[in-house]
């Protein structure tokens, strides 16, 4: 016989799951690259489950892999979200480390705790990842807008171009991790999309087959980071979006050689969208968090 206390415990997660699904809807409502068609293949509540992965003991190491090469540099989508999650993890008392290859590594390393991934190093990739994981001892491994291996072991961009020669590999970090793994993507060719590879046949993309424990999708990968931070805010009872500063992060990256992945221009944009689009989403998330944590009587 179920008592009232047990019923209360069972009912408690429902509001959080509903909030998670609201955020999940917002993250794909533009449907820029078909993520609305992919979403039904994910179990609802994935933003909530992703946020809960950050519930770690103080000092735990969180690896954040990012950096999608475009031309001879890197794109704005990915590093913005990586920096946002890095700062959030620090606030939570965790030990975040950003893993990326050059030229992004050289840009971020003076300002953040970073670990270099060698670009175009295709020998002994599994051993490289194994050694790094043994050294870093992560409690969570996260990939945001990282190219993922296609079925032929190459890295492909959204134009169908082989970009393997300009990529640093991060796939084996997720495959060999002895801790939970989280991936964020927006098009189908990123690490983690192996979880929904059957759903990607309908998209004009050469998909990644690399899997993860939890996948979060969005119209722009950076936006998923803000969604997870909003969910973390609800879990902790603290609005972690209050200090969100998309504009400043974008300014820093573009000033250091970053370009838009779609337009290939050095502008304050994310996947062809003006930064105001990202700011508008952050404001919606901020309002959702603020109203939930301090409801009007």
Closest CA to 139 of 52, 44, 240, 233: 52
Q: What is the 3-state secondary structure (H, E, C) of the chain?
A: CCCHHHHHHHHCHHHHHHHHHHHHHHHCCCCCCCHHHHHHHCCCCHHHHHHHCCCCCCCCEEEEECCCEECCEEECCCHHHHHHHHHHHHHCCCEEEEEECCCHHHHHCCCCCEEECCECCCCCHHHHHHHHHHHHCEEEEEEECCECCCCCCCCECCCCCECHHHCECCHHHHHHCCCCEEEEECCCCECCHHHHHHHHHHCCCCCCCCCCCEEEECCCHHHHHHHHHHHHHHHHCCCCCCCCCHHHHHHHHHHCCCECCCCCCCCCEECCEEHHHHHHHHHHHHHHHHHHHCCCC
Q: Which tops the pLDDT comparison, 229 or 2?
A: 229
* Phi/psi of residue 130, nearest 5 degrees: -60, -45
What's 191's domain CATH number?
Answer: 3.90.1640.20
pLDDT of residue 239: 96
Q: 181: domain range?
A: 31-223
- Residue 136 near residue 130, CB atoms below 8 Å: no
User: In this predicted structure, which of 13-22, 129-138, 190-199, 209-218 has the lowest mean pLDDT?
Assistant: 13-22
Residue 15 lies in a domain: no
Residue 168 lies in a domain: yes
pLDDT of residue 122: 64
**pLDDT-derived band at 36, boundaries 50, 70, 90:** very high
Residue 127 lies in a domain: yes
**pLDDT-derived band at 33, boundaries 50, 70, 90:** very high
- Residue 141 near residue 58, CB atoms below 8 Å: no
Residue 282 lies in a domain: no
**pLDDT-derived band at 120, boundaries 50, 70, 90:** low
Residue 194 lies in a domain: yes
Question: CB-based contacts of 232: which residues, under 8 Å, 6+ apart?
Answer: 51, 54, 88, 92, 240
Domain count of the fold of the chain = 1
pLDDT of residue 90: 98
Task: Report the alpha-carbon distance of residue 87 to residue 85 in Å, rounded.
Answer: 5
Task: Report the alpha-carbon distance of residue 36 to residue 275 in Å, rounded.
Answer: 22
Residue 133 lies in a domain: yes
- Average model confidence (pLDDT) across the chain: 93
Residues in the chain: 297
pTM for the structure as a whole = 0.94
């Amino acid at each position: 016989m179920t008592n009232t206390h047990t019923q209360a415990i069972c009912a408690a997660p429902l509001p959080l799951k509903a909030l998670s699904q609201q955020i999940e809807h917002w993250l794909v409502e533009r449907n820029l690259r078909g993520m609305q068609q992919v979403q039904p293949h994910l179990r609802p509540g994935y933003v909530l489950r992703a946020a809960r992965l950050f519930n770690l003991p103080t000092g735990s190491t969180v690896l954040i892999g990012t950096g999608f090469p475009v031309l001879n540099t890197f794109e704005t989508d990915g590093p913005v979200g990586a920096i946002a999650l890095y700062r959030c993890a620090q606030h939570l008392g965790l030990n975040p480390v950003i893993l990326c290859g050059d030229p992004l590594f050289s840009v971020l390393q003076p300002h953040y705790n970073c670990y270099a991934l060698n670009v175009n190093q295709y020998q002994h990739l599994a051993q490289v990842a194994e050694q790094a994981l043994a050294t870093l001892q992560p409690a969570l491994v996260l990939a945001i807008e990282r190219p993922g291996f296609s079925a032929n072991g190459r890295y492909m961009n959204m134009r169908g171009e082989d970009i393997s020669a300009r990529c640093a590999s991060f796939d084996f970090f997720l495959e060999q991790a002895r801790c939970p793994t989280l991936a964020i993507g927006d098009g189908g060719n990123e690490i983690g999309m192996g979880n929904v590879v059957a759903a990607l046949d309908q998209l004009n993309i050469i998909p990644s087959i690399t899997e993860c424990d939890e996948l979060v999708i969005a119209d722009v990968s950076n936006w998923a980071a803000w969604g997870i931070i909003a969910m973390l805010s609800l879990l902790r009872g603290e609005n972690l979006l209050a200090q969100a500063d998309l504009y400043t992060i974008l300014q820093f990256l573009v000033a250091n050689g970053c370009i838009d992945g779609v337009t290939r221009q050095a502008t304050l944009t994310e996947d062809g969208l003006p930064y105001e689009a990202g700011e508008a989403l952050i404001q919606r998330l901020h309002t959702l968090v603020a109203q939930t944590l301090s409801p009007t009587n």
